[in-house]
Amino acid sequence: MARVIVITSGKGGVGKTTTSASFSSGLALRGFKTAVIDFDVGLRNLDLIMGCERRVVYDLVNVINGEANLSQALIKDKHCENLFILPASQTRDKDALSEEGVEKVLKELFHMGFEYVVCDSPAGIERGAVMALTFADEAIVVSNPEVSSVRDSDRILGILQSKSRRAVEGREPVKEHLLITRYSPKRVEEGEMLSYKDVQELLRVPLIGVIPESDDVLQASNQGTPAIHLKDSDVATAYQDVVARFLDEDRPLRFVSYEKPGILKRLFGGK
């Protein structure tokens, strides 16, 4: 049974697109036929992060309007065999998304044999964000360890409970997961940042992972490579853990405690 997963947050710049790219890549690496859809109509970032911006011909809005068929618009990922990207339109605005149109695209993806469809939500709580979450079976709510981000995540959880199809039709509610990104155990230790436990207590949603703050993320997006593919990177490991937990595997939390650098490290430097 195909599942639709929305990656959402309310607030912008917290790591939704980075997470969408890595999470969908992770599912594809596990052998699942996966599609990732950019709902950020008008801004279009996912194709950059996935490194396929030069191959975009048709987009989501073209498919919804019947100007292109789905197989023409889907872009095959360069890293994973099973992953396809449906980019957002750069030139339209969010009103171009209709509920019927999105539903039609999702149904067609299921017919094509996709097992997971990951919806990369735009920031905010406007039409684009609501369209991205309307058909979700599960939601990964991305939050930074910071009060305004947590508040916005809370708001989007409320919208999920009232506007998703599952809620409107009174079916079993959307399964919620909390993902904390840009986490710095050092700053938590120093009292400058909320701890992951604080965030979880505020939101009361099961934690699916903690992604450490790292320069690797910036580097990966500049290269157009989803961070999960990076070699020897904590971020990549953390995203692999997220995918594993999503698939009901047991993984202990990593990268959440701070070890003071020893005397040698302090003398001789190093990261």
Q: Do β-strands 75-76 and 83-86 pair in parallel, antiparallel, or remain unpaired?
A: antiparallel
Burial of 199 (0-12, 13-18, 19+ CB in 10 A): buried
- Residue 126 C-beta: closest distance to another protein, Å: 14
Contact 175, 137 (CB under 8 A): yes
**Under rule CB under 8 A, which residues in 228-267 are in contact with another protein?**
none
- Residue 155 C-beta: closest distance to another protein, Å: 4
Query: Does residue number 161 form part of the binding site for another protein (CB under 8 A)?
Result: yes
In the chain the first and final C-alpha atoms are separated, in Å, by 45
Query: Does residue number 222 form part of the binding site for another protein (CB under 8 A)?
Result: no
Contacting another protein (CB under 8 A), which of 1, 172, 191, 262?
172
Choices 42-50, 55-63, 158-166, 227-235; region in contact with another protein by CB under 8 A:
158-166
- Residue 158 C-beta: closest distance to another protein, Å: 3
Choices 48-56, 67-75, 147-155, 206-214; region in contact with another protein by CB under 8 A:
147-155
Q: Which is nearer to another protein, 10 or 212 (CB)?
A: 10
Choices 115-123, 167-175, 184-192, 220-228; region in contact with another protein by CB under 8 A:
167-175
Tokens matching residue 227: 């961070």
- Residue 162 C-beta: closest distance to another protein, Å: 5
Round to whole Å and give the CA distance between 219 and 222. Answer: 5
- Residue 234 C-beta: closest distance to another protein, Å: 31
Neighbours of 163 (CB within 10 A): 16
Contacting another protein (CB under 8 A), which of 43, 68, 112, 159?
159
Round to whole Å and give the CA distance between 201 and 206. Answer: 10
Contacting another protein (CB under 8 A), which of 204, 254, 265, 266?
204
Q: Which is nearer to another protein, 130 or 193 (CB)?
A: 130
Query: Does residue number 154 form part of the binding site for another protein (CB under 8 A)?
Result: yes
Tokens matching residue 101: 């149109």
Residue numbers at the binding site for another protein (CB under 8 A): 99, 151, 154-155, 157-159, 161-162, 167-173, 202-204
